[in-house]
Amino acid sequence: MQSFAFVVNGAEIVVTVPPETPLLYALRNDLALTGTRFGCGDGLCGVCTVLVDGEPRWACQLRVWEVEAKRVETVEALIAEPRHPLVTEVLAGNAGQCGYCLSGILMQARALLDRTDGVPDRAAIATALAGNLCRCGAHGRILDAIERAARTIAEAA
Ligand code: FES
Ligand code: FES
């Protein structure tokens, strides 16, 4: 076991785990941040997407030692008040069906909106989400919700 310090959703934390522990497991099992989901465990589905220093990464593919001293953001940061417009619009539009994919998609979309001036076009949103699978086929409603959230953010700027 070894201790690793990093920042999660703005809070400095320390976890004591075997160094090869996937970040996903540390988030879910040691920090009770279960919004980040386990899917394939192999970097193929995107449900475990978190931001590390603002960049979207698969938490199942990162070892805890790789995020030491870095900033990790999970979907819980978007859900906390004041709720991020992405969450508001996904809920308002019933964008998900089972919802399993949504925490990863929300984080991927957050990264896109953070790096985009104004409202990204539909193709740019779809490209950004190419690695985030939705087995329910709810992509259309999810893209709609992201577009609405982007407009809300742009209008408030
Ligand atoms: S669980 Fe990480 S990419 Fe599928
Ligand atoms: S809403 Fe079910 S996997 Fe996307």
From first to last of its 157 residues, the chain has per-residue pLDDT tens of: 899 999 999 999 999 999 999 999 999 999 999 999 999 999 999 999 999 999 999 999 999 999 999 999 999 999 999 999 999 999 999 999 999 999 999 999 999 999 999 899 999 999 999 999 999 988 999 999 999 999 999 998 8
Query: Does 100 share its domain with 59?
Result: no
Do 150 and 82 belong to one domain?
yes
Question: Under DSSP, is residue 104 helix (H, G, I), strand (E, B) or coil?
Answer: helix
- Determine if ligand 1 sits within 6 Å of the CB of residue 58: yes
Residues 146 and 123 in one domain: yes
> What is the CATH number for 66?
3.10.20.30
| Backbone phi, psi, residue 50, to 5° | -130, 170
- Could you tell me if 43 and 101 lie in one domain? no
Domain boundary among 16, 43, 74: 74
Tell me which residue range forms the domain holding 107.
78-156
10 Å Cβ neighbour count for 13?
A: 16
Residue at which a domain ends, from 23, 52, 74? 74
C-beta of 95 in contact with ligand 1 (< 6 A): no
Shortest-distance atom of ligand 1 to CA 39: 1
Q: Is 27 in the pocket of ligand 2 (CB under 6 A)?
A: no
